[in-house]
Amino acid sequence: MDAFEFHNPVKIVFGRGKVNSTGKHINGMAKKVLLCFGKSSAKKSGTLEKVTSSLNEHGISWIELSDIKSNPLLSKVREGIELAETNSIEAVVAVGGGSVMDTAKAVAAGTVIKRGDIWDCFLGKTEIASALPVITVPTLAASGSEMNGFMVITDEENNLKLAAGSPHVYPAVSILDPELTFSVPADYTAYGGVDAICHLLEPFFNGSWPDTPVQDRITYGLIRAIADATERCLANPYDYNARANLMWGATLALNGLTKTGVGEHFFPVHMIEHSISAIFDVPHGAGLAALLPGWMEWFASSGHDSRVAELGVNIYGIAKEGNAAENAWSTVKQFANWLTSIGCPNDLKSLSITEKDHAAISENAMVQAGIWGIQEYSVDVVMDILARCQRWD
Amino acid sequence: MDAFEFHNPVKIVFGRGKVNSTGKHINGMAKKVLLCFGKSSAKKSGTLEKVTSSLNEHGISWIELSDIKSNPLLSKVREGIELAETNSIEAVVAVGGGSVMDTAKAVAAGTVIKRGDIWDCFLGKTEIASALPVITVPTLAASGSEMNGFMVITDEENNLKLAAGSPHVYPAVSILDPELTFSVPADYTAYGGVDAICHLLEPFFNGSWPDTPVQDRITYGLIRAIADATERCLANPYDYNARANLMWGATLALNGLTKTGVGEHFFPVHMIEHSISAIFDVPHGAGLAALLPGWMEWFASSGHDSRVAELGVNIYGIAKEGNAAENAWSTVKQFANWLTSIGCPNDLKSLSITEKDHAAISENAMVQAGIWGIQEYSVDVVMDILARCQRWD
């Protein structure tokens, strides 16, 4: 096990109807907040009204930052920063999915930035030194943003979707109310499950495997629990416990726990997907689903079939004794079939992406690889991966 | 899944040689600390010197509270409080196992108590309102005290071993250096593993099972990982990764994670064990090992065989299809045999406790049950459990 530091100070308030306690948990922290939300669903579902009622109840006023879109934009972050500065905002509240939470974090950090620009933090030119308190009320089980210090924003002018992280943007409080996800449609429910599972798979595969059964076994357990909960949610969107397990599972999938001590690692599938959704604006989870089987096949065939096989042994009960290459292949196939079974794409073709697009995607990915100093993923490697992801059958 | 709040702000610094960074992590928090340690092992192993060198390096002075014994005493806590008050101590540092960490927490809370006495917090008469910062350097993988807000202290005058909890006694920082556990002898290594597994089993069995596969699957994974790591440590005490997995596994076993949302629950096996070690001064983990098979058998036969069977299906691979009562029995037998295989007792006889002692143990347990308002465990129930625990073969 490698050395690590783990410090996750987010307070989680979990349960049915907890959305109505939002104001109570902000009370004492801020009297005036920036309220961030998306284009329509938080309004239509009534969630936004529950939050504002609760803010009213506790005498907390708000300014709205609305119409935040999926694959959220830097221009919207800048709009939020200006609103926050002009109105002497004391905290930022996110009501929505990962896009809204990530926008709220970027605004919270950007508002108090002393020198330079918030985008410099994404470009790796400067570090986030502080941030306004962030409070999240997630309406989608997927990103894990509600319990971590990461955010992903798209610079639309340069087609660049980048991630940044800082301990300062950990939410102070996250209100996890599974009922808020009852209205999530089937496709986004499934994409959310895949996003969460991908958050577990990336450190599992891309660490250096330094003998970490504790982390590995938590990973297996969470993958199984999230996969099962996703299926239950699709079968019955109003199954509270299914929604609750998907929500808590997705939160734990990227709260840092399963990343501890597994060695330096990054998120190549996320990197390539960010390029895809920066260019084609596809839903993040759909992009991940389209990449995962092909990427896993590439990864197994690059000398790592025993690691892929290990996953299959532990989550699918594949016989340990078998040949590693065969077991790896069987693992990838089962995973690809599972994606189909929950209505997700499992190749790029399903997203109407063609071979002609691969060069642009690879080139875009290289910008990210450059910022993070990732050398393993050259243009040729990404082109090879994309070729394997193009068609799965 | 039941509603819950989860907020664990402990900073974990994990890895080989991290003990030498103790001073660095206290720096800025305190210039003068109370340094708590046990009777001999922290000194003999050189750990204490590493800590004091690191304190010196950062200009942090200390006053010593030494000779803290297993099943730590209220009188020692009072001694620490007086030392801390007299010397204007700003933080409390624990170098040792659960006993030392729990003593440090009680001193940290007792020093700043405004009204009444620290023992009143254990008796449920008052709540802890604040505490000095606590820093722990565990030398034993077992209690999980390094990442939770619990402490267990024995009032030796009244033979009463009681637990108390407060968010104020969460350690600010815990330095987890697996090398510090190389010198733990085989018996205490095994007791530690059993303690950690018992911390996982109690919420798993004693919650209300409100459909929590996320928590259950983390529990299964941690039990397997801790059991395997315990065996590896016994086979080679200097196996760093084995010690690291045992240490991190034991920490996660009682950091609140697996307790989230499983319903109101308490720790009856711990309750009965506290009575045993209050009266007979046996090592805590040995007492738990002596109780667990008999308690599990009693629990299964009290209408809960399906829950016990579920454990066996998931940690021992017992066939799901079988009869629940038979599967439960098979689970208990496998667990009892495993205890023997790692050199632990699996009944009270092995601790030289006889039937004649049962009444005193039950009576003592009733005091704890009274403080916590537990009605399910009457004298008759505890006597029944003790009878089943007396002899296992």
Nearest chain B residue to A11 by CA distance is B7
Choose from B6, B14, B226, B314 for mutation: most chain A CBs within 10 A: B6
Nearest to A257 by CA among A84, A8, A41: A8
Alpha-carbon torsion angle A159, A163, A166, A168, nearest 10: 60
Q: Quote the minimal CA–CA distance from A139 to chain B in Å.
A: 17
Q: Quote the minimal CA–CA distance from B225 to chain A in Å.
A: 5
CB contact under 8 A, B214 and A220: no
The Cα B139–Cα B258 span in angstroms is 23
CATH of domain A185-390: 1.20.1090.10
CB contact under 8 A, B225 and A217: yes
Nearest chain A residue to B220 by CA distance is A221
The Cα A189–Cα A183 span in angstroms is 9
Query: If pLDDT is split at 50, 70 and 90, which confidence band does B372 have?
Result: confident
Answer whether residue B205 shows pLDDT above 80: yes
The A-side interface with B (CB below 8 A) comprises 1-16, 18, 178, 210-214, 216-218, 220-222, 224-226, 228-229, 240-241, 244-245, 248-249, 252, 257, 260-261
Considering only the beta carbons, identify the residue of B2, B7, B249 that sits closest to A214: B249
Considering only the beta carbons, identify the residue of A3, A225, A229 that sits closest to B14: A3
Q: A94-135 pLDDT, tens per residue?
A: 999 999 999 999 999 999 987 779 999 999 999 999 999 999
DSSP secondary-structure letter at B356? G
A94: enclosing H helix or E strand: strand A91-96
Q: Please state the three-class secondary structure of B118-154 as a single string.
A: HHHHHCCCCCCCCCCCEEEEECCCCCCHHHCCEEEEE
Phi, psi at residue A158, to the nearest 5°? -110, 15
Query: If pLDDT is split at 50, 70 and 90, which confidence band does B113 have?
Result: confident
Choose from B217, B226, B254, B313 for mutation: most chain A CBs within 10 A: B217
CB contact under 8 A, B244 and A1: yes
Q: According to the model, what pLDDT value does residue A229 have? A: 98
ipTM passes above 0.85: yes
With beta carbons under 8 A apart, name residues in chain B contacting A13.
5
With beta carbons under 8 A apart, name residues in chain A contacting B317.
none
CB contact under 8 A, B1 and A245: yes
Mean pLDDT of the B81-98 span: 97
With beta carbons under 8 A apart, name residues in chain A contacting B226.
214
Nearest chain B residue to A18 by CA distance is B3
With beta carbons under 8 A apart, name residues in chain B contacting A213.
224-225, 228-229, 245
Considering only the beta carbons, identify the residue of A178, A217, A222 that sits closest to B224: A217
CB contact under 8 A, A245 and B212: yes
Q: B241-283 pLDDT, tens per residue?
A: 999 999 999 999 999 999 999 999 999 999 999 999 999 989 9
Cβ-based neighbours of A242, under 8 Å, separated by 6 or more: A229, A232, A233, A235, A236
Mean pLDDT of the B186-190 span: 98
Residue numbers of chain A with a pLDDT score lower than 70: none
A23 within 8 A of A55, measured Cβ to Cβ: yes
Q: B290-340 pLDDT, tens per residue?
A: 999 999 999 999 999 999 999 999 999 998 888 999 999 999 999 999 999
Q: According to the model, what pLDDT value does residue A249 have? A: 98
Considering only the beta carbons, identify the residue of A4, A8, A249 that sits closest to B214: A249
The B-side interface with A (CB below 8 A) comprises 1-16, 18, 178, 210-214, 216-218, 220-222, 224-226, 228-229, 240-241, 244-245, 248-249, 252, 257, 260-261
Q: A242-285 pLDDT, tens per residue?
A: 999 999 999 999 999 999 999 999 999 999 999 999 999 899 99
Domain ranges of chain A: 11-180, 185-390
With beta carbons under 8 A apart, name residues in chain B contacting A5.
11-14
Mean pLDDT of the B359-377 span: 94
Cβ-based neighbours of B191, under 8 Å, separated by 6 or more: B142, B283, B284, B285, B286, B288, B289, B344
Q: According to the model, what pLDDT value does residue B115 have? A: 73
Which architecture, in CATH terms, is B185-389? Answer: Up-down Bundle (1.20)
Considering only the beta carbons, identify the residue of A2, A18, A241 that sits closest to B1: A241
CB contact under 8 A, B222 and A220: no
CB contact under 8 A, A3 and B16: yes
Nearest chain A residue to B13 by CA distance is A5
Mean per-residue pLDDT over chain B, rounded: 96
- Secondary structure (3-state) at A3: coil
Nearest to A21 by CA among A58, A46, A67: A58
* CATH number belonging to the domain at A11-180, selected among 3.20.20.70, 3.30.70.1230, 3.40.50.1970, 1.10.1380.10: 3.40.50.1970
B163 within 8 A of B151, measured Cβ to Cβ: yes
With beta carbons under 8 A apart, name residues in chain A contacting B214.
221-222, 225-226, 229, 245, 248-249, 252
Nearest to B156 by CA among B94, B70, B284: B70
Considering only the beta carbons, identify the residue of A213, A218, A228 that sits closest to B213: A228
The Cα A325–Cα A309 span in angstroms is 7
